[in-house]
Structure 1
Amino acid sequence: MKTKSKTILLALFCLLYTISLAQDRLGLPRIINYSKDDYRAATMNWSILRGPDGKIYFGNNYGLIAYDGVNWDPILEPTNRTNVLSLGIDANKRIYLGAQDEIGYMVTNALGQATYQSLNDIIPEEHRGYGLVWRIIAREDKMYFFTNRKILVYEGGQMDAITMAEELIFAQKVNGQFYLQQKGRPLAQLQDGNMRLLPGTEPLAEEEIKGLYSVGEKLIVLTADQGVFEWSEGTLAPWETTVNEAIAGQKVNMGQQLADGKLAVGTIKDGLYVFSPSGEMLLHITKEQGLQNNTIQAIYEDDNNNLWLALGNGISYVELGSDFYYMDARSDLDGSVYSSAIYDGYLYAATNQGTYRAPLHGKQSHPFAFVEGTDVHNWNLTQVDETLLLGNHLGAHTVDGATVTPLNVADYGAWQFIRHPKNPNLLYQGCYTGVYVYEWDGRAWQVLKKLDGYVETAREMIFDEQGYLWIGHGYHGIYRLTLNPEGDEILQIDLYDQSKGLPTNLWNNLFKVQGNILIGTQQGVYEYEPDLNAMVPSAHYQEWLGDTELVRKLVEMPDGSILYIKGLDNFDQIGILREDDTGGYHNQTIPFQKLRGELIPAFESVTFYGDQILFGAKDGLVIYQQDMNRPTATFSTNISRVFCTAANDSLLYGDPGNFAEDTLEADFVQTLEYDHNALKIQYAATYFERSDNVEYRTFLEGFDEETTLWTTATSREFTNLKEGTYTFTVESRNIYGAVGQPASYAFTILPPWYRTWRMYLVYAMGFGFIGLGMMATRRRKLRELERQKQFELHQQREELLRKNLETEQKMTQLQMEKLQSEVDYKSKELATSTIHLAQQNDTVLKAIERIEAISTIKDEAAIKQLKGVASSLKDLIAEESNWEQFELHFNEIHDNFIKRLKTAFPKLTARDVRLCAYLRMNLASKEIAPLMGISYRGVEALRYRIRKKLELSPDDNLTGYILEF
């Protein structure tokens, strides 16, 4: 069954493709305009040329200007500073300029600085003053400069001249031959320096020829006011095509045959025309279609078949060779397109501002017209048999030419219309809050009912082969509705969400491809598995589309290929999977990179029209022309300028617009002073489609360890580079992933002045003198050092002796302190014993006194006994048995005081010595009395006697004397 379906689809595609061969290309090319404020020169431009470095050069009233894809730069002026009217390039890639009485060429040095080299000096004197040079053409090894009065021929460093009998007004090279026209004369051919009139062109003598084209064996002659003629084998006749009708009265200014044979015509009043080789008008663009100005001064076709136009005011870049054309405000189509349809000879577009339609007949795209009654947000256009249905915010409508008729506005919003696969008389409309069922009554669709049970939004609806109605919900998942056989009741609702296999409930999209229900998720394509009643990853599609990105759209094309859109907005990945001979796919991604950021996420609209694909975009429609076979022209990367940022951004390399074919000699290395070691290097790629999306990566040999990542930055800065030789390399990559020819810039940073070889020589000589001086100084210092050492040795000895003495003193002091500590301790013990003894004697004395008092009692026997006891107690007080022990300890503590005292004063009695010992202990008389067993008066009398024995004067203090003894 599937094989049969594929066969039918293939046959249908072949039929559609055969029909499409006669279809017109829809839309207008993208036009990029550059005003005089952009290119910073005069308003008027006269000529255009692409240099060998890929840059585009313009002859301007202010001189020569250049565009490298990033920068617009005025380069230079001719010697006499007149307008640059013409440009040319020879086989050696040298660019020539023509101006008023001035011919020359550009010279660029190794630093990228352009200068003008005039050729006037080699022109013979009699041929000078030749006037305006309005055309320069290269042929073989010669350069031809055309003026009104002469043709100057430059070859091998010599200049010859051909003088015209009449004013020369036209010159063009066709098939290697020069065709010329002099004022008031027919068309002629230049042969060996002579003019040979073309027979049959006499009627052109009163016309002004503006262009010649070669079509087969014919010459197509374009005139300023009288239309187009064809000349062949001596016969001239009007060219019977639509060209004459189109350009009548538009004052043709110039014409050019394009690489694919098309004819481009620039006018004074009506912009640009492009015709097929057979004369059918393919394109007409004016100020209304995007040009800045309707006056075309020059046309230049670049290697990508795109056109550069020099206008009466500004410059325009027309992407004529692009795979994509556009229908937007220039076509009177306003807003973002959510759906489109081909119906009844018109192209309809549903936008957020209304629905528009444009006729499709003729080669030229026609402007859109507003469909009345649709000035709300429009969502969907669907053709069902002979009826075109429109869904918008208000509901469902039928489209009737330039108006609409309400079909169902009971509920807001009509998202989509889909027919029942088994009952073609039933139609389903998804709305904001459910699903409506329509029935065909033989004349029109009539609302049957709204399905009960489902109240969610139904923006995406698909029937499968079994009759299940699948509905995609952006936040819940995927619903499956089981309908009754009549299709007007819901029997069951199943929700397939994360619990049923989907990676997430969000942003799931519903598709039907080759009869299969597919779900685009954030992790690739999923499909329904009946055995599991769940969603599972689709191995087939994930092999080609991956499992890490959101799949936003899958559309089966008429030829069976699959168009896909995946990734997030501005990072869109768009392509076509075309089946190959192995049963797999060829993944075509070029040139869809150009659509990044153009489409409306979640509302991607795709319509097929023959070999064209119409994409709904944020700004109108984008029309892709399949099988364009556009050239894959190479492009170059250029080093534009090098600045030293450490010196007020001084320019080191490049002119304000370097143009030469050899911007860097292969062996050239620029030398920079060390104070120029902070650099800013600017670069650009000569690829002009989406030039703001061109990416670059760089590598500075001698500094970087690896190449940088791709980025859209067009400059890179370095600071504090060390001395050495460096090579900076930059590569560029266009939006399609093609890599341009790299550019390099080599430079050497010299060391600072204090690290140059001259300074090193000075350093060496200085070090030599310093060395000699250091040797003499060293000898002197050695002698001084020896003396110093002797002195230091003496000082060390003295210091050692001093330290030894200090040590001994410290040791002595420590010993004395130790002894003193011991003395203090023993003194405390002695004092304690003495106090204890005194207390004991005092107690005894008191006992004796009491006994003596008792002894007065008249009992002789008792008195006798008491006197015996008292005598014994007195003997106890006077006992000397402990005195020797006391004396021994006392002498140890008080440096043999008693011995010294006895020796010094031998007359002292033992009782005197004992009192002196107690005085040495600094005891008072009251404290001594009990110790000696005498009264206080007894102590004082004893003190008196001792003073005499010591021979003390009355002024001398006994205690003080004893303490100091």
Structure 2
Amino acid sequence: LFFVIQVVDAQYTHYFKNYTLSDYKASNQNWDISKSNDGKLFVANNDGLLEFDGLNWNLWEMPNKAIIRSLLIYQNRIYVGSYEEFGYFLKNPKGVYEYHSLIKLLDKFKIHEDEEFWQIILFKGAIVFRSFLSIHILEDDKISSYNLPSIAMSCNVVEGKLYVSTLDKGIFILENKNLIPFFNHSLLQNTKIISLTKTDTNQLLISTALSGLFLLDHNKIVSWKTAINPIIKKYQLNKFSQLPSGDMVFGTIKNGIYITDKDGEILFHLNKEVGLLNNTILGQSVSKGNELWLGLDNGLASIDLDKPNFFYTDVSGKLGAVYDIINYKGIIYIGSNTGLYFLDNKNKLNFIEGSQGQVWNLKEVNGELFCGHNNGTYLLQNKQLKLISNFAGGWVLKKVPEEKDFYIQGTYVGLVSFNKLNGEWKATHLGKTTIPIKYLVFENKTTAWVAHASKGLYRVKFNKNYDSIVEFKDFRNKGLWSDFFVKIYKINNTIAFHTNKGWQMYEPLLDSILPFNLLNDKEEVKDGYIISEDDIQKLAFKYKNSINFDPFSNGFGKAKVSEKYFKKRLITGNENISKISDSTLALNLYDGFMLINTANLENAITLKKPIIEKLSINNKAIDLKTDPILIPFGNNNITINVSSPLSSNHTFEYQLSNFYFKAPWVETKNGILEFSNLSDGSYTLLINTKGSKQSKSSNLRIDFKVLSPWYKDTFGFIIYALLLLLSALTIYFLHKRKIKKEQNLLKIKYSKTQKKLLDERARENEKEIIKLKNESLENEVNLKSKQLANSAMALIKKNETLQHLKESFIKHKENFNNQYLFKNLIKQLDDSIEHKDEWELFEYNFNQVHEAFFNQLKAQFSELNKKDLKACAYIKMNLTTKEISTLFNISIRGVETLRYRLKGKLNLAKSDSLKGFLQNFN
């Protein structure tokens, strides 16, 4: 890639990734940056110390929440410099970083007011803290402090010696625990020296902020005549680093970073114009694997310097979405949705006039460049376009096998043939169909397969002159799994099709489409599709998380381009890998393209065993060194944070098991494992780092035990034993009490039985007495009833006699001369018949027998008169109508009338028996 790395104003860049405030959730400014040996990134941020394990960010604040200006990682400590403070963070056994101040180790030296510590470096195993006013060297838990004669701008270790550069007193060197002058010159007066380093010519390179670069050799200082020098003067150098290769990194205040070779010639420039978040570099660090980290004035960035892949990115949007790239006669041509471009010898982007609009396809044909365009097809001649076909939409152009000058093209309006006659290209529409054809593959010289841009698959046969179609056969009903977005390929002389349901192939003997099991049986191939052009030997498969090469080799998946390089930058459905040179491919992107070095494809997958960062029970961190890990039964919410900073493009997979079960493997992308409400018992947790495909690291094993609840442990068994003993004693005493109670009950029962027998005997005697009394009363009642009946019958007889006598008198009334005497006699007879005293005596005797019959009857039926009551008594005594008429001295009809009226007064229905009612009335 000589043309890539030799340019000055190139927009080619290494792969880099930005980290915004929303990613790391802290302040914008990042002053210093470094990686630990286990792969963790630590950043000096305005809000504190940032930690990044490759997946998750953590923030550890200073006790006074001060800004951290500098940091250095040495052994297990992260040394930091802050406002009037310096010290270190150390991870405690619970996985939490705790701050330890070193200020207390200062003897009589006092920190100056408003002093900040801007740099920390390692010097012969000692830690050097630099502010503008002093330096402090920590060694064996003791600090040596030095005041400076001028403002200290930087400290550097060169060939085992410590140099301190000041603003206007030159450079000092530490010897025998004394700072002594080393070099001073007018060129360095009032100059901010950023760095000192040795060149391969044994000269001392002095880098300054605004005065440029100087070379110091035997006390002679000269300006370094190199390409980078005027640039850093213009853009203000702020940070300097040297790569293991000898290449140099210059971080500026105004224009991002520049990477040069050891001679100062620019290899690579990255700034906001090509996608960096910010042009101000506050901190930079080179970690293992040539990964360059940048602390910016607004965010962070990482640059992968070790990978041989480069990007051409157009942040301005001028280029647009790229659809095809070709190296034509040593010049890179780029077809995008805005037109056709080329890169000049300085990699400047140039637009070819007249190409405005969508470019679909670039194809070299017999030394000439065809441009398939939205408007038709153009021929490029001397960087100018010539329209050779006005059939719109030149999607795909393929050479007819075994024919020199015949090409077939798929367009918006069907198939078009190109044939060169007399030095001129002629375009002919082949007829038969005008459907838009996006995919075209030849089966043989006269037969091709074509696919509709959206839906449909067809087999086409051409005539021998390739100026018409003789057969256009629809294959949508020939076993194709899906009609939509069919892609066509020729793999090992087999016509293959890819749909969203997998791979199929054409079987000529059956003239049908069958499953292509050779590809479907490979999971990684089944879900992918080919995006490389025909002239590329290594087939490139677009898979879920990568682009893989050589699908039929045993090592499929090892030679690949990881998704991190193109994530969210591909044009779905129009991915395309084209050949730039024998070792370089180009992948189109929505904002440019990527150059892939096939000689150095990513072969090794780095997957390291996970590390436990933190283990929390009910949100409370526990000591990671605890063995065994014991977890209380109640509310056992367990959170385990794991990381694998040295792994790349990874997730995690875990499996929980115990004596009774083994759970399936579960994937987690954020390194956080959570478990809750586990039953008691011993558990084994296996965790591995998982890459793409089936690659995994070795397992991390965590054994822990969920303690039994109190009712199942020793304490519980003691409680149960005590309860059992208490229960036995309780049963014994209850049984004893029961026996005693039963004895008492027997005594009581015996007493009660005796009393009952006596009571029963008394009651029987009483009953006998009552019976005798009742019999006596009954005899008395019967006697009275008989007397009452006799009395009534006597009264009836008397009244009948008197009535007969009265009737006789009345019958012989005319024989009476004295009528007054006659009437008086009749009246006396009537009075005798209705004698009041006789009735009252009858009523009294009746009540004696029938328990106050009249009183109760009058109480319930107040309308009854004296005559009614008499009638009721007679009826109750079962007297006949005639007998009643005699007693009332009325006719039988009069008695019937009386009975009728009585029914009404007694509220009886017509069908009710008056006699039955009165006899039952009590």
- For 1:336 and 1:277, how far apart are their aligned partners in 2? 36
SS of the aligned residue for 2:250 comes to strand
Kept in 1: contact 2:359–2:372 (CA 8 A): yes
CA contact (8 A) 2:524 2:693 kept: no
1:397 matched to 2:397? The reply is no
- Which residue among 126, 132, 140 is the counterpart of 2:109? 126
Alignment deviations for residues 35-74 of structure 1 (CA, whole Å, 9 cap, x no partner)? 4454443332211122355332221233222233444332
Q: Which residue of 2 aligns with 1:286?
A: 271
| Alignment match of 1:96 (pick from 66, 75, 79) | 79
What is the correspondence of 1:24-63 to structure 2 with a 5 Å cutoff? 27-63=12-48
Q: Counterparts of 2:291 and 2:239 in 1: how far apart (Å)?
A: 17
Q: Does 1:461 align with 2:479?
A: no
2:541–2:549 CA contact under 8 A, matched in 1: no
Query: What is the CA-CA distance between 1:652 and the residue it aligns to?
Result: 0.7
Compared CA separation, residues 782 and 53, structure 1 to 2 (3 A) = farther
Does 1:108 find its partner at 2:91?
Answer: yes
1:86 aligns with 2:70: yes
2:597 matched to which residue of 1?
625
Q: Post-superposition shift, 1:76?
A: 2.3
Q: Considering only aligned residues, what root-mean-square deviation do their CA atoms show, in Å?
A: 4.5
What is the Cα deviation at residue 340 of structure 1? 2.1
The DSSP-based 3-state class of the residue aligned with 2:667 is coil
Aligned residue in 1 for 2:338: 354
Cα drift, residue 138 of structure 1: 2.4
- TM-score normalised by length of structure 2: 0.69
Which string of whole-angstrom CA distances, capped at 9 and with x for unpartnered residues, describes residues 580-636 of structure 1?
8xxx87664433444576544543311122333211235542332334477866656
Q: Deviations over 1:147-199 (max 9, x none)?
A: 33443222222222345444332222355554432333555654554567778
2:579 to 595, 608, 619: 608
Q: Distance in 2 between matches of 1:34 and 1:596?
A: 15
Answer yes or no: is the 8 Å Cα contact 2:687–2:701 preserved in 1: yes
Q: Please give the residue correspondences for 1:173-322 in structure 2 after superposition, counting only pairs within 5 Å.
A: 173-174=157-158, 176-187=160-171, 190-193=174-177, 203-204=187-188, 207-218=191-202, 219-231=204-216, 236-322=221-307
Q: Which of 607, 616, 620 is the matching residue for 1:652?
A: 620
Q: Which residue of 2 aligns with 1:563?
A: 539
Superposed displacement of residue 314, structure 1: 2.6
Tell me the distance in 1 between the aligned counterparts of 2:404 and 2:38.
Answer: 63
Aligned residues of 1:420 and 1:427 also touching (Cα < 8 A): yes
Matching residue's letter, 2:68 = V
Partner of 1:380: 361
Question: Residues 612 and 196 of structure 1: is their aligned pair in 2 closer, same or farther, counting only changes over 3 Å?
Answer: farther
1:171 aligns with 2:143: no
User: Quick one: which amino acid aligns to residue 99 of structure 2?
Assistant: Y
Q: Distance in 1 between matches of 2:245 and 2:68?
A: 29
Deviations 1:890-917, CA, capped at 9 Å, x for gaps: xxxxxxxxxxxxxxxxxxxxxxxxxxxx
Q: Call closer, same or farther: CA 1:741–1:144 in 2, change over 3 Å.
A: farther
**Secondary structure at 2:437 match in 1:** coil
2:151 and 2:341 mapped to 1: Cα distance?
52
Matched residues in 1 for 2:108 and 2:365: separation? 81
- How far has the Cα of 1:727 moved from its partner? 5.8
Cα drift, residue 77 of structure 1: 0.4
Q: Is the 8 A contact 1:565 1:572 kept in 2?
A: no
SS in 2 for 1:721: coil
Change (3 A) 1:293 1:573: closer
1:391-448 alpha-carbon deviations (Å, 9 max, x no partner): 2333223456887554322x4322123344555444433212322233435665343x
The more displaced of 461-470 and 168-177 is 461-470
8 Å CA contact retained: 1:591, 1:736: no
Q: Do the aligned partners of residues 371 and 723 (structure 1) sit closer, same or farther apart at CA in structure 2, a change above 3 Å counting?
A: same
* Residues 430, 457 of structure 1: 8 Å contact kept: yes
Q: Summarize the Cα distance change of 1:77–1:728 in structure 2 as closer, same or farther, 3 Å threshold.
A: farther
1:157 maps to what in 2?
A: 141
Question: What is the alpha-carbon distance in structure 2 between the residues aligned to residue 789 and residue 306 of structure 1?
Answer: 100
Aligned partners of 1:330 and 1:303: how far apart in 2?
30
Amino acid of the residue matched to residue 432 of structure 2? G
Helix, strand or coil: the match of 1:246?
helix
Q: Deviations over 1:59-103 (max 9, x none)?
A: 12332222334443321205x55332111122x322211223322
Unaligned runs of at least 5 residues, structure 1: 1-16, 646-650, 655-663, 796-965
> TM-score, with normalisation over the residues of structure 1?
0.67
Report the CA distance between 1:689 and its aligned residue. 6.5
Aligned equivalent of 1:338, options 323, 326, 350: 323
Aligned residue for 1:574?
Answer: 547
Is 2:521 the partner of 1:521?
no
Go from structure 1 to structure 2 and tell me whether the alpha carbon gap of 1:616 and 1:43 turns closer, same or farther (over 3 Å shift): closer
Structure 1 partner of 2:408: 428
Asked if the contact 1:257/1:263 (under 8 Å) is kept, the reply is: yes
SS in 2 for 1:222: strand
For residue 224 of structure 1, report the CA deviation from its aligned partner: 1.3
Pick one of 398, 407, 414 that aligns with 2:388: 407
Question: Does residue 736 of structure 2 align to residue 779 of structure 1?
Answer: yes
Q: CA deviation at 1:213?
A: 4.9
Partner of 1:808: none
How many angstroms apart in 2 are the aligned matches of 1:472 and 1:147?
A: 70
Instruction: Return the offset for 1:373.
Output: 4.8
CA distance in 2, matches of 1:723, 1:115: 33
Distance 2:89 2:542 in 1: 49
C-alpha distance in 2 between matches for 1:384 and 1:722: 72
SS at match of 2:234: coil
**CA, structure 1 residues 289+387, in 2 after alignment: closer, same or farther (shift >3 Å)?**
same
Q: Give the Cα separation in 1 of the matches to 2:714 and 2:510.
A: 83
Shift in Å at residue 285 of structure 1? 2.0
SS, match of residue 330 in structure 1: coil
Gaps of 5+ in 2: 753-922
Distance change (3 Å), C-alpha of 1:389 and 1:213:
farther
Q: Which one of 719, 733, 736 corresponds to residue 690 of structure 2?
A: 733
User: What SS does the aligned partner of 2:663 have?
Assistant: coil
Query: What SS does the corresponding residue of 2:669 show, helix, strand or coil?
Result: coil
Cα distance per residue 1:243-291 (max 9 Å; x no partner): 2243341010011113443321111111122223343323222222222
Q: Is the 8 A contact 2:226 2:263 kept in 1?
A: yes
Asked if the contact 2:460/2:469 (under 8 Å) is kept, the reply is no
Tell me how many residue pairs correspond in the alignment: 745
Aligned equivalents of 1:526, 1:573: Cα separation in 2:
22
Aligned to 1:885: none
